[in-house]
A and B are shown apart, each in its own frame.
Chain A
Amino acid sequence: MRIIGLAYESLEPGIYMHDLVDRTYRIPYPSDGTDILVRRLLEIGRIEKIDVLFPNFDAELLAFMKSREVLEKEGIHTFLPELGQFEERHKANLPAFGKKYGVSVPEGKPVANIRELKEALEDYEYPVVIKGKFYDAYIAGNFEQAAMYFNKISAKWGLPIIIQEFIRGTEVNVIALGDGKGNTIGAVPMRKLYITDKGKAWSGITLDDPRMLELTNHIIRSTRWRGGMELELIKSEKGEFFLIEINPRIPAWVYLAVGAGQNLPEALVKLALGIETQPFTDYRKGVLFIRYSFDLITDISEFEKLSMFGEL
């Protein structure tokens, strides 16, 4: 087996880890156009005979989902969500998603100006969450704060702004893999133990909560989810689960699932290649991951090769 790295930038550390990655190629960003990205990928595919492709960068998912047939014709398999699945789980579509699949989501409403904000807030109890269409979320304790965040977020991300019921509780997550026919191939629930100031999980622990697995199975069964996913949930003080977001890919903390006994990346390769895969039925509870960073030492000649020829 060979692992081929695809890099957007010359300082991505994986490029220089020759014990993990056999060869790396630079590729253009999806923002240059799907056609250009796929052309480069096919070029690499002809040299390297790529069997399975795993996108990890949020912005590239859409490009590869749309190019599924073109890639398959060249023997490059993916195992990604269907476009419809991808679209309906968008943050702005969450209330509709919750209604369609019978999943509890925080009450939310889009508003386009301060007047609508004021009217809408009459139906909510403070605190409320004020969220942008794509990014940013703040908790507002009164109307003045809500209006301030409204202005702040709309200046940055545009309209509408979504106001959302604030649910007091703990954030928990599930990593899961669906086979596209409604079956859950694997699922491991986790709570973040330490979060960086950028909101990324730096440490986490596997949980024993059958209700989280039930909810995951329900979502995968009813959406017939295809591929990896990360569920972001809030467990309220009353013990109810609310779905906050579905990330349509395997999260960075996937190795915790492997460590707990579910080798989801391996299962994903099998699914992509059409090899029959038995669902995982168990995992070890109370397993931790603690992330660490490492200084890789390399020579400028390595950097030169990648920069000048786009390959290393």
Chain B
Amino acid sequence: MKKQFERPYIKKIRAGIPSKFGMSVHNEPVTHIDNNPVPELIKQFGSPLFVISEKTLRETYAIEKRAFQTRYPRIQLAWSYKTNYLDAVCRVFHQEGSWAEVVSGFEYDKALGNNVPGSQIIFNGPYKTEEELRKAIGNDSFIHIDHFDELYAIISIAQNSDKKPKVAIRVNMDTGVYPMWDRFGFNYENGEAWDALNRISLDNNLELVGLHTHIGTYMLSTDAYKTAMTKLADLAARVEKKHNKSLKYIDIGGGFASGNTLKGAYYQGRDIVPGFDEYAEAITSALINSELNPSKLPLLILETGRALVDDAGFLLGTVIANKRLSDGRRSTIVDTGVNILFTSFWYEHEIHPAKSTSDHLEETTLYGPLCMNIDVIREAVAFPLLRKGDNFVIKRVGAYNMTQWMQFITYRPNIVLIDMEGKAHLVREAENLDSVRGNERIPDHLK
């Protein structure tokens, strides 16, 4: 039998003193996803291909739930639709008991379509049309008010309605994190949030049910959550005291980081990202140690998105070509472009070959297939010597890619979900010419 071929290569040995980049380490292959061989999946569903592991979704959910439930008696997760609103993904979380957290009329309808009762939908965001507000009020959904204009719109709808809108306000605050997210909701420090709460409490047509905040994204500091919860609990305690009313819930939002490595970070994401237990400890301890009446503790709502879904998503792809750049540097063109991997703008995505390779790695630039200069998946990665047609797997792509991807130059590919038994199901079909042209209209004079 002939020996396995690897492309010949010669590499300059960097003779250096310690710097940021050191000895390159073997890149372990990812050969299977939940018992499905990667080449089989690609053969059946094409390349590129998004694969979602239902097992990982459910296991991650269970880990988060346990982390909070063991520290605080009353918790509720609300699935953040914008992170991944594929119906199949949403339904897995709803089956696990998650409510829906939506930020537009479109997402609201998607939640209803997934059979989420209106009373388990949280409606966030700075832009809700009057029609959408009426619908949400009619369905007894929780409306999180972003600004005074919205508050007065709801007041005016409520005056002519037999339904009493259930409202909460979104609060922004200084949690010691830079930049401070002060564009959404009412500010805590300048008293705006307190004003809004007083205005709502005095209105008999509105029911003040809770408080909400969302302090940022990809938060690596659990202290910021502690500060945020302390401030929200303070507001809730003041409402309790002044208006003699206990709030039903405090919604601390999301923003937990996943194990991805942010661009420019020194350490690997998986080394510095706090676990659910650490976030839970910071949040629940601040709530339990607050001035709130212990016999009427509010429900703690979490809108975790990224940290729940990122690890469950994989992007499978194929090498299109290898190329040398003018200075001898190696570049590899792959079929997974930035149009479907939006998060490659923020992360140094972890990329693994789909079969085992030798220990030789070469500093490589990974380009996507688009005829656009911005289409770079990794600027410089120590990559094994893959050949044309070889497959690879990009890890932790479950969050935001399947919602922020765009139809640009190529079609969006298939998405499959691998169920608990290891069976692959197509959950979103690849686009074709009709899906792109379907909404186009040609004026008569151009026919």
CB atoms of B23 and A33 under 8 A apart: no
Question: How far in angstroms is the closest Cβ of chain B from A295?
Answer: 15
B178 touches A160 (CB 8 A): yes
**B178 and A112: CB pair below 8 A?**
yes
Residues 20-40 of A contacting B (Cβ, < 8 Å): 26-36, 40
Give B6-21 interface residues, CB cut-off 8 Å to A.
Answer: 13-21
Whether A307 is near chain B, meaning CB under 8 Å from some CB there, is yes
- Which B residues between 91 and 126 are near A, CB-CB below 8 angstroms? none
Q: Are B17 and A12 in contact (CB under 8 A)?
A: yes
Closest to B271 in A: A34
* Count of interface residues, chain A, beta-carbon cutoff 8 Å: 29
CB distance from B397 to the nearest CB of A (A): 19
Identify which of residues 196-225 in chain A touch chain B, using a CB-to-CB cut-off of 8 Å: none
Please measure, in the bound complex, the distance between the C-alpha atom of A9 and the C-alpha atom of B20, giving whole angstroms. 10
- A28/B25 contact (C-beta < 8 A), A112-B179, A112-B180 known: yes
Q: Is B266 an interface residue (CB 8 A)?
A: yes
Flag whether B285 is at the interface (Cβ < 8 A). Answer: no
Contacting residue for B268 out of A31, A66, A160, CB 8 A: A31
Nearest chain B CB to A38 CB, angstrom units: 11
Interface locus among A55-63, A178-186, A240-248, A270-278: A55-63
> What residues on A are CB-neighbors of B18 within 8 Å?
8-9, 12, 57
* Contact A8 B25, beta carbon cutoff 8 Å: no
Question: How distant is the Cα of A62 from the Cα of B180 in the complex, in angstroms?
Answer: 28
**Chain A residues within an 8 Å CB radius of B19:** 9
Closest Cβ of chain A: how far from B271's Cβ, in Å?
Answer: 5
Give chain A residues whose Cβ lies under 8 Å from the Cβ of B270. 33, 35
In this complex, the interface size class of chain B, counting residues with CB under 8 Å from chain A, is: 20 to 34
In the complex the two chains form, what is the Cα distance from A9 to B16 in whole Å?
6
Indicate if the CB atoms of A32 and B16 lie closer than 8 Å. Answer: no
State whether the Cβ of B5 lies closer than 8 Å to any Cβ in chain A.
Answer: no
Interchain CB contact (< 8 A) of A307 among B13, B24, B25, B266: B13
A303 beta carbon closer than 8 Å to chain B: yes
* Minimal Cβ-Cβ distance residue in A for B270: A33
Q: A112-B178, A112-B180, A160-B178 are in contact. Are A9 and B22 (CB under 8 A)?
A: yes
Give min CB distance, A103 to chain B, whole Å: 21
Instruction: Write out, one digit per residue, whether chain B residues 23-45 have a CB within 8 A of any chain A CB (1) or not (0).
Output: 11100000000000000000000
Q: Which of B14, B15, B178, B271 contacts A33 (CB 8 A)?
A: B271
Looking across the interface, which residue of chain B has its beta carbon closest to that of A112?
A: B178
Q: Mark B45-58, 1 if CB is under 8 A from A, else 0.
A: 00000000000000
- Which of A31, A36, A66 is close to B266, meaning CB atoms less than 8 Å apart? A31
A29/B178 contact (C-beta < 8 A), A303-B15, A307-B13 known: no
Among A28, A32, A110, A160, find the residue whose CB has the most chain B CB atoms closer than 10 A. Answer: A32
A290 at interface by CB-CB < 8 Å: no
Q: CB within 8 Å of A: which of B251-290? A: 266-268, 270-271
* Contacting residues of chain B (145-180) with chain A, CB-CB under 8 angstroms: 178-180
The answer to whether A11 touches B23 (Cβ under 8 A) is no
A36–B268 Cα gap in the complex (Å)?
A: 11
Within the complex, the shortest CB–CB distance from A34 to chain B, in Å, comes to: 5
- Chain B residues with Cβ below 8 Å from A159 are 178-179
Q: Give chain A residues whose Cβ lies under 8 Å from the Cβ of B13.
A: 10, 307
The CA-CA distance from A8 to B20 in the complex, in Å, is 10
Whether A31 pairs with B267 at a CB distance below 8 angstroms is yes
Is A310 on the interface with B (CB-CB < 8 A)?
A: yes
A9, B178: Cβ atoms closer than 8 Å: no
Q: Which residue of B lies closest to A30 (CB)?
A: B267
> Could you say which residues of chain A place their CB within 8 Å of the CB of B23?
8, 26-29, 310
Cβ–Cβ < 8 Å partners of A57 in chain B: 18
Contact flags (1/0) for A64-81 with B, using CB distance below 8 Å?
A: 001000000000000000
Distance, CA A159 to CA B16, complexed state (A): 31
Chain B interfacial positions (CB closer than 8 Å to A): 13-25, 178-180, 266-268, 270-271
Q: Give 22 CB contacts A-B under 8 Å.
A: A9-B15, A9-B16, A9-B17, A9-B22, A11-B16, A12-B18, A26-B23, A28-B25, A29-B20, A30-B271, A31-B20, A31-B268, A32-B22, A32-B25, A32-B268, A36-B25, A62-B271, A63-B271, A112-B178, A159-B178, A159-B179, A307-B13
